[in-house]
Chain A
Amino acid sequence: MTAPEVAVEAQPQPPVRRAFWRQAFQALLLPVLAIVTALLLSSVFIIISDPEVVALWREITVAPGVALAASWEKLRLAYRAMLEGGLGNPALIWQGFQTWVTTGDATQLVKSLEAIDRTLVYSTPYIFAGLAVALGFRCGLFNIGAEGQLFVGALAATYIGYSIKGLPLVIHLPLALAAGAAAGAVWAAVAGVLKAYTGAHEVVTTIMLNYIAFRLSDFLLTGPMKRSGFNPVSPPVEESAWLPKLAPDPLRFHSGFFLALLAAYFVYWFLWKTTWGFEIRTVGANPDAARYAGISIARNYIIAMALSGALAGLAGTSEILGVNRFMAQAFSSGYGFDSIALALLGKSHPTGVVLASLLWGFLRAGATRMQSAAGIPIDIVQIVQGMVIVFVAAPALVRFIWRVRAVQEEGETIFTRGWGA
């Protein structure tokens, strides 16, 4: 194993640090530009969502200044609400911190930290679900079914969480987590098996499985898993299955966040440090080469899909055990679908996915505030997402808009491959 090292040393090397920064800049430039472009374009939608501002634009020929000023004011309000909703007000945080140090009264500090808390809590399921889609991409599989797997995982975790009573936390919590992961894995593996043995494309089957999962959850929550009473919700999860909370009460920050980071490390380790991961990446990069190398494509499709489903199942599980503590119909609000954008934005790499998830958690927390403070419907997040996906998937488009020249031949990541294969 020493021979290659000697060969490397013989070459003149560029200063390591500069090379690192240049690479980091190259890697971040296009995603950042994509996000900036998407935010700029969604400003247009923010402006047209306000009838009063639109009315002013009708008189643009008479009073151009008024319309522009009103639009600027609207955007300033909107983006300020987004920043405060997602990160909080630094001055207030500092003030709260000082009060806490001097008087020992933490209420002000806790209140000022609510925005960051929300961002972190939102980003937890995003990390899990984003990793799920990213892992699929690495095997050349497009798992659109994260949302359905998330529901099934949540259902299983909820069931284990409330039906078993009297277990200690060290047994009950892992059991509930495992149930959620296993249910998601099985649900996704159906699509994997169908793809491997019949060629049914996973994009269509996972979407169909989504709808089936939603109906299944409707059925269970109105029937077998319904809590006594009027609402179609499950009984509350036993306290021994809760993910421990890490912050005092109005805050909701829980240990699921660190579990998500752990999952990110696991995905990295699995994909890049194990033989199974190597096989999965080989199948994703070039199925023909994999086949000639004696790697079973069918086996890897099933493994990758099951693992992807397990991660998506954990996204739902962490929401149930960490935040909601019971299951309701339509509890997820689209984490599974958003995860596609996260995997793309993070270039299917765990580190990238974690960063993208934090950004998305921030956007979501900010958009909630935008809705309450500036009256902008929260669906603006989806508009931003759609555009981010387009721009990230089309580096040529971003380069075209911002006149950035391609510095080096980028390894074009292959995400999916048609109906065949």
Chain B
Amino acid sequence: MKAGTLDWSTFRHQYLTRDRVLGVVYLTFAVLIWWLFFPNIEPGASAKFGLNIVTAVKPPPLPDLVVPARPAVLFLGFIAAFLGGWQLARGFREPQAVLGVILIIFLVAFLLWATAGKSFNLVGMLASTLLRAAPITFGALSGVWCERTAVINIGIEGMMLSAAFTGVVVASATQNLYWGLVAAVLTGGLLGLVLAVLAVTFRVDQIIAGTAINIFAVGLTSFLSQSWLAVRQDLNAAGNFKPIPIPVLAQIPILGPIFFNVNIIIYIMMLLVVLSHIVLFHTRWGLRMRAVGEHPRAADTLGINVYLTRYISVTIGGMIAGLGGAYFTLGSVGRFDEVMTAGKGFIGLAAMIFGKWTPIGGFIASVIFGFADALQVKMAILRIPIPSEFLLMAPYIVTIVVLSGVVGRALPPAADGQPYVKE
């Protein structure tokens, strides 16, 4: 190579380092904020964010948060530009985390632009975020339980759909929502058991076994809903769980209405996140699960029953997916519609990967997806000049971006997806 010339590979390896690229990315966001949002806000318009929602239990009302939109957006742009400059000049130790901060800044600027001259209920949207995160969280938890013992569960979507169906039918037939919940959990558990039989005993390719469960569930629920529910409308009218305010806690401003005045399925969800974390990382059973997932041969040598461990975890994973299914019918709309899960099980899997196969990480990831989903609905109400179809794409695009941005560094359990043959 002649001195003075610069070919692409030298350029790429010497000058195009990840830190520099990220610095440019931060600066780009700053420019985008100034270019997209700032000129498009009426001068003097202010964005009004509501901090109260109307519920039966009223925490002391808070005044609305009023922000002058233009100066605020200008200021946010400056912060992003500063971070970008700092990254290029000095470098951050955790550039990925800073990227998260930049994205949040961009989002806030977006909200200011969308709300300028209007008002927008912030707490309402956060509450809706938690609700929309619920099925995704159940999906992620179900995935964690299965994959920590090295069984990939692509069938979460199908388990949720079937559980949503049986939940509503049993609840309508018995006129008791709790029986519906039990039925949904049992349905999920049963399908989990089916997956375990196929994946563990018959060593079917796990992704294919899960896909079969999905197709089967879509077919069966649509079939039964057309042949039964179309005739017996009374079997598809269960009603739904009402929010249960927790005394005192529900009175806390902002947090109260979001976390402590929700229905029982959401409480179960929050409990399960904590419980799964404790079981997985602080109990003997959890240690066994992880051993089976990382190195089944070693676990077997130490006397752990690999097959039984997988059977139990996958069945529990199925039951958790069943709870997620119950959320769709008993936890929200109270009736079953064909293919109503709309990919939430798969988004749950993406959340599990994003959360690095941990319950709490999965929950945080689910909240991000839930936020994208809730934002999309609110934006449609604010009538911003973006077609609703593109807003509806948002959660799916976020899933792809997150998966491709993060999964390269997140490592699944070492034996994930491999059947175990006892010697």
Instruction: Please determine whether chains A and B interact with each other in the same assembly.
Output: yes
Binding site for B on A (CB under 8 A): 45, 49-51, 142, 144, 194, 198-201, 203-205, 207-212, 215-216, 218-219, 222-223, 337, 340-341, 344, 376-377, 379-387, 389-390, 393-394, 396-397, 400, 414-420
Stretch at the interface among B31-39, B201-209, B359-367: B201-209
Pair B403/A219 contact, Cβ less than 8 Å: no
Pair B416/A344 contact, Cβ less than 8 Å: no
A210 cross-chain contacts in B, Cβ below 8 A:
343
CB contacts under 8 Å to A, within B311-349, are 342-343, 346-347, 349
Residue from A341, A376, A394, A415 within 8 A of B215 (CB atoms): A341
- Say yes or no: is B393 at the interface (Cβ < 8 Å to chain A): yes
Pair A386/B408 contact, Cβ less than 8 Å: no
A sample of 27 cross-chain residue pairs with beta-carbon separation below 8 angstroms, ordered by A number, consists of: A198-B405, A200-B404, A201-B353, A203-B154, A203-B207, A204-B349, A205-B403, A207-B346, A208-B346, A212-B397, A219-B389, A340-B215, A341-B215, A377-B223, A377-B227, A380-B223, A382-B215, A383-B216, A383-B219, A386-B219, A386-B220, A390-B209, A390-B216, A397-B202, A416-B205, A417-B417, A418-B418
Q: Give the dominant DSSP class at B's interface.
A: helix
Give Cα A416 to B228, complex, Å: 37
CB contacts under 8 Å to A, within B370-399, are 387, 389-390, 392-393, 396-397, 399
- Say yes or no: is B407 at the interface (Cβ < 8 Å to chain A): yes
Pair B223/A416 contact, Cβ less than 8 Å: no
B343 cross-chain contacts in A, Cβ below 8 A:
207-208, 210-211
CB-CB nearest 3 A-B residue pairs: A382-B219, A386-B216, A418-B417
Quote the shortest CB–CB distance from B176 to chain A (angstroms).
23
B207-237 vs A, CB cutoff 8 Å, 1 = contact: the mask equals 1110111111111101110111001000000
A387-B216, A420-B416 known; 5 new pairs, CB 8 Å cut-off, are: A203-B207, A204-B346, A212-B397, A385-B219, A393-B205
- Say yes or no: is B152 at the interface (Cβ < 8 Å to chain A): yes
Closest A residue by C-beta to B157: A207
Residue from A204, A397, A417 within 8 A of B399 (CB atoms): A204
Pair A209/B416 contact, Cβ less than 8 Å: no
Question: Which of B211, B228, B407 neighbours the largest number of chain A CB atoms within 10 Å of its CB?
Answer: B211
A393 cross-chain contacts in B, Cβ below 8 A:
198, 204-205, 208-209, 212
A341 cross-chain contacts in B, Cβ below 8 A:
215
- Say yes or no: is B350 at the interface (Cβ < 8 Å to chain A): yes
Q: Give the dominant DSSP class at A's interface.
A: helix
Pair B204/A394 contact, Cβ less than 8 Å: yes
- Say yes or no: is B117 at the interface (Cβ < 8 Å to chain A): no
Give Cα A199 to B178, complex, Å: 42
A212 cross-chain contacts in B, Cβ below 8 A:
393, 396-397
Give Cα A51 to B405, complex, Å: 52
B407 cross-chain contacts in A, Cβ below 8 A:
198-201, 419
A400 cross-chain contacts in B, Cβ below 8 A:
202
Pair A419/B203 contact, Cβ less than 8 Å: no
- Say yes or no: is B421 at the interface (Cβ < 8 Å to chain A): no
- Say yes or no: is B50 at the interface (Cβ < 8 Å to chain A): no
B204 cross-chain contacts in A, Cβ below 8 A:
390, 393-394, 397
B408 cross-chain contacts in A, Cβ below 8 A:
198-199
A383 cross-chain contacts in B, Cβ below 8 A:
216, 219-220, 223
Pair B403/A201 contact, Cβ less than 8 Å: yes
- Say yes or no: is B274 at the interface (Cβ < 8 Å to chain A): no
Pair A382/B223 contact, Cβ less than 8 Å: yes
Pair B400/A219 contact, Cβ less than 8 Å: no
Closest B residue by C-beta to A190: B400
Give Cα A339 to B408, complex, Å: 29
Pair B387/A223 contact, Cβ less than 8 Å: yes
Give Cα A61 to B290, complex, Å: 51
Give Cα A232 to B249, complex, Å: 49
